[in-house]
Structure 1
Amino acid sequence: MIYYGMIGPWQLIIILLLGILPTIIALIDILRNEFNGSNKIVWVLVVLLTNFFGAILYFLIGRKQKINASK
């Protein structure tokens, strides 16, 4: 069994899931919706450059900035 430092395989899987999954979900949500001005570009950069923390910020703040498409 391969160990990376003192982290076992299950811990590595948990870290990757908690770190990567919210980032991917946030990026998909950003790219599928419309924002005012250049907010979309700003949120993509925030999520890509700060990974997990950027995704959390987007879910707390950025989702309120989406343009509602009401018909």
Structure 2
Amino acid sequence: MNPFLSNILITAFILSFIPSVIAAFDIAKSNLRRNKKLYWFFIVFFFHLPGSLIYFTVGRTQKA
């Protein structure tokens, strides 16, 4: 494989985890009920980038 392409893929892979990590910290600090936090952690963990985007658009607006 081309070294330039592999560097781009590795960088994109690492950058895709940044929103997931931010979402995980935000979920941990939120005042959601425990079971809702668990659901959001699973969504963000299994669907990294789409899961974190869904959390930021839908999950942050949920009340406890």
Question: TM-score, normalised on structure 1?
Answer: 0.73
Deviating above 4 A after TM superposition, structure 1's stretches of 4 or more consecutive aligned residues are none
Q: TM-score, normalised by structure 2?
A: 0.80
Aligned CA-pair RMSD: 2.1
Equivalences, count = 62
Q: Looking at CA atoms only, which structure, 1 or 2, has the larger radius of gyration?
A: 1
Which residue of the partner structure matches residue 16 of structure 1?
A: 14
Contact map agreement 1:33 1:66 (CA 8 A) in 2: no
User: 5+ residue gaps in structure 1?
Assistant: none
Higher helix share: 2
Q: For 2:32, what is the secondary structure of its paired residue?
A: coil
Identity of aligned residues (%): 26
